[in-house]
Structure 1
Amino acid sequence: MYPLKFRPILKERLWGGTKLKDVLGKPITCEITGESWELSTVEGDVSVVANGELSGTSLQQLINDNAEQVLGKSVFERFGTEFPILIKFIDAKQDLSVQLHPNDELAKKRHNSFGKTEMWYIMDADEDANLIVGFNKDVSKEQYSQSLAENTLLELLNYEQVKEGDTFFINTGKIHAIGAGVLLAEIQQTSDVTYRVFDFDRKDKDGNYRELHTELALDAIDYEKKDDFKVLYPKKTDTVNPMVDCPYFKTNFLELTQDLFLDTSKRDSFTIYMCVGGSAVVMNDFGETSISKGETVLVSANTTNILLKTKGSKLLEVTI
């Protein structure tokens, strides 16, 4: 299977803007587009191939027909025919709601879903843009509930100012929010389960407050202050720089000024490339596909080598 691109699945969000179009070239037609889903098998939002002879074929169909070849034997044994990763670009013109995600056990019990561990790579940030990540002190469940009742939750939260290249790992249970002015790449478990706990008293386009998940969140929150979210990674050029290695995905950062050859014969996993700067050509045993900033390519697991041809690019590499 040659390297595959997929049609972006564009999502309108009340907090969205136009950076997906202005910075990444996405074909948005609405000025509140918040997300571009790049790779997904979430029901109702399944990615479709956009390039080559497989154009028009869904990612789910490719996996159903060739699971081990696409996913890798060990990935197939672990996840079956469900693609375990959801890849997005997110543009926050306004602050997102304060939220968190349940772990696997809770998500399975309540929603028959995976939990949602995720990673953010900041691609663009307005001056003084920030994220909310965790609490600024240890908090009890009672203190947290009282802060919601008194509308003082924001006083308990930890704010992180961000710039391009900053990377954050968001464990399940960690309270968080993407701040206004941030454009980022998101890598996460395949799950769309979110517990929204504070939404700045905003109303949707129909004048309604969005649903809060106050009770569901109480047993899912990690109330401890933890400084475990900032990902410090090497930034050497023309090599593979490890970023995150967790049970759900592994990510590397590649800043290339020249071609790079990778032996993937022992990699029992698909490989995803998200281009966060410049452009490149991704080549494998079966063909080649160009990639530029804001695009994503999937390389099947039965690839024995990958050649990245470029004169200048920044790539996030994702495997299982």
Structure 2
Amino acid sequence: MYPLKFNPILKERLWGGTKLKDVLGKPIENDITGESWELSTVSGDISVVANGDLAGTSLQDLIEKEPENVLGKSVYDRFGTDFPILIKFIDAKQDLSIQLHPNDELAKKRHNSFGKTEMWYVMDADDDASLIVGFNKDVTKEEYAKSLENDTLLDLLNYEKVKEGDTFFINTGKIHAIGAGVLLAEIQQTSDITYRVFDFNRKDKNGNLRELHTEQALDAIDYTKKDDFKVKYSQEKNTVNAMVDCPYFKTDFLDLNAGLTQDVSGRDSFTIFMCVGGSATIANENGSVELKRGETTLLPAVSNTIKITTEGAKLLEVTI
């Protein structure tokens, strides 16, 4: 199996814009495209191979046919044929809704789904663009509920100004939102379970307010103020720099201006590369793929060696 690229799954969003086309070259056809799903086996949104002899084959079919070769034995033993990662690029022209995600236990009980732990890597940000991550003080459930009634929730939230390269880890229960003017790469558990708690009283194209999940969120929120979300990582050139290592995914940062070869024969996991800057050629024993900013590739676990050729690229490398 060679390095695989997939057709992007483009999503219109009330808050979306045009940066996915203008900055990343995605083939969007409207001015409110908010998300490009790069790797997905979410029901109804399953990625399809775009390159080579396997073009037209769905990621789910590949996994069903050769689970250990695609996923790795340890990943298959843990998740079965469920692909455990969802990879996106997100363009927020407007603020996203204030939201949070349930943990695995709650998501399994209520939705028969994984929870949703995620991370963000900021690729582009307008001047003074920010994210909302957590509370600015410890709050009680009662204080939180009262703030919703009084329309003062925003006064309780923590705002973080951002620039390219800033990285955030969003664990379950943490209230958050992507702010207007931010383009980012998102790596998350395979789950589309979101509890929306405030949406700035916006209406959709049909004049309707979007659904809120006020009651469901009450028992899912972490109400404590924490400073555990900003990821500090090395940006040393031409090596693998650790970013996030959690039970659901491991992400490293590669800032390359020369080639790099990795022996991954003992990895026992697929490898994903998201190109967040520049361009590179990524190869294993069975082929290669060209990757430019805003593109993603999946190298099956059966790969033994990964060879990256570039004169300048920034890559996020994701494994389990």
**Does the pair score TM above 0.5?**
yes
Residue 245 of structure 1 corresponds to 245
Distance 2:20 2:191 in 1: 22
Mapping of residues 15-34 of structure 1, within 5 Å? 15-34=15-34
RMSD: 0.2
4+ long deviations beyond 2 Å: none
User: Between the two proteins, what is the percent identity of the paired residues?
Assistant: 76
Q: TM-score, normalised by structure 2?
A: 1.00
1:143 aligns with 2:143: yes
Residue 113 of structure 1 corresponds to 113
Distance 1:303 1:14 in 2: 40
Distance 1:8 1:120 in 2: 18
- 1:136-159 CA distance string (max 9 Å, x none): 000000000000000000000000
Determine helix, strand or coil for the equivalent of 2:147. helix
Residue 181 of structure 1 corresponds to 181
- 1:60-89 CA distance string (max 9 Å, x none): 000000000000000000000010000000
Q: How far does residue 285 in structure 1 lie from its aligned partner after superposition? A: 1.0
Residue 292 of structure 1 corresponds to 292
Q: TM-score, normalised by structure 1?
A: 1.00
Residue 264 of structure 2 corresponds to 264
Aligned residue type for 2:60? Q
Distance 1:192 1:147 in 2: 26
Distance 1:52 1:31 in 2: 31
Residue 71 of structure 2 corresponds to 71
- 1:36-79 CA distance string (max 9 Å, x none): 00000000000000000100000000000000000000000000
- 1:95-145 CA distance string (max 9 Å, x none): 000000000000000000000000000000000000000000000000000
Distance 1:56 1:304 in 2: 25
- 1:199-218 CA distance string (max 9 Å, x none): 00000000000000000000
Where in structure 2 are there 5+ consecutive unaligned residues?
Answer: none
1:282 aligns with 2:282: yes
Aligned residue type for 2:121? Y
Determine helix, strand or coil for the equivalent of 1:231. coil
Distance 2:194 2:228 in 1: 21
Where in structure 1 are there 5+ consecutive unaligned residues?
Answer: none
Distance 2:122 2:283 in 1: 26
Q: How far does residue 192 in structure 1 lie from its aligned partner after superposition? A: 0.1
Aligned residue type for 2:130? N
Determine helix, strand or coil for the equivalent of 2:69. helix
Aligned residue type for 2:295? E
Distance 1:49 1:164 in 2: 29
Mapping of residues 161-200 of structure 1, within 5 Å? 161-200=161-200
Corresponding pairs, count: 320
